[in-house]
Amino acid sequence: MNDPTGSTRPWLDPEVLDALEPMLDLLAGDPASLSSVTEPSRARDVHLLDSLSGLAVDEVRGAVRMVDIGSGAGFPGIPLARAIPTARVDLLESVGRKVEFMAETIDELGISNARPVRARSEEWALGEGAAAYDLATARAVAPLEVLAELASPLLEEGGSLVAWKGEREPDSESLVSGLRERLAVEIDRVVAVRPFEASRERHLYVLRKTGPTPPGLPRRPGMARKRPLAP
């Protein structure tokens, strides 16, 4: 397991953080309460630094075409789009107000390489998003085995899923390993990060797509959660 906490931390780039500060004000001022953490100084740690800690992963820094699954208010997708201007970032979200907030934020911040998409990942993977990305990201969305199923049909062969987690999930790790053939996805490694001084150690799971999208994927929207696949 790689641990970058004792080396350089690329997510602490002051230029990127300063450019993203207006996003915190927009979040705090939005009447829809898009997050349980909206106070700007706290949200800077919990949302911005946590999102940008994904830069500890080589596949994130080198992304060319990225999809953020279940973007919510835009984390980690919007901060990563600002930090990696050469990547094209699609932000998948099914809730209309959250999509509107992301569009407003992207416009306010002048980010030209990201677009919000109102769609479920399963629907997007049937059309434009099919095997279209070298990187998928997901933060606080679903168990690892569910994310692996959702990401597989979106990723090209050799593409990666990076999933933000707090504690490690040994049960989910075992499930993903057992589903390797059915999902064409395997765990490559787990990267430990500490996004900000007061945070606990978090874990970034890096999964790799090992072959073509298997038959039967994507399943109907919601099935990955309601009826998880069994090894």
pLDDT digits (tens, 9 = 90+) for 26-58: 999 988 878 877 788 888 888 999 999 999 999
Strand order in the sheet with 114-118: 114-118, 88-93, 65-69, 133-139, 155-165, 202-209, 185-193
> What is the pairing mode between strands 65-69 and 114-118?
unpaired
- What number of other Cβ atoms are within 10 A of residue 126's Cβ? 12
Furthest-apart CA pair in the chain: how many Å?
Answer: 46
The whole-angstrom separation of Cα 75 and Cα 83 is: 13
Mean predicted lDDT score pLDDT of the chain:
92
- What number of other Cβ atoms are within 10 A of residue 197's Cβ? 7
pLDDT digits (tens, 9 = 90+) for 174-208: 999 999 999 999 999 999 999 887 778 899 999 99
> What tokens does 150 get?
């959702």
Predicted local confidence at residue 131, as pLDDT: 98
User: Omega into 76 within 30° of 0, i.e. cis?
Assistant: yes
The CA-based dihedral angle spanning residues 85, 197, 168, 146, taken in that order and rounded to the nearest 10 degrees: -40
CATH class name, domain 4-226:
alpha beta
The whole-angstrom separation of Cα 80 and Cα 54 is: 8
Predicted local confidence at residue 150, as pLDDT: 98
pTM of the predicted protein model: 0.93
pLDDT digits (tens, 9 = 90+) for 145-185: 999 999 999 999 999 999 999 999 999 999 999 999 999 99
Predicted local confidence at residue 6, as pLDDT: 37
SS3 annotation, 19-50 = HHHHHHHHHHHCCCCCCCCCCHHHHHHHHHHH
Residue 85 backbone dihedrals phi, psi, to 5 degrees:
-65, -15
Predicted local confidence at residue 142, as pLDDT: 93
pLDDT digits (tens, 9 = 90+) for 81-133: 999 999 999 999 999 999 999 999 999 999 999 999 999 999 999 999 999 99
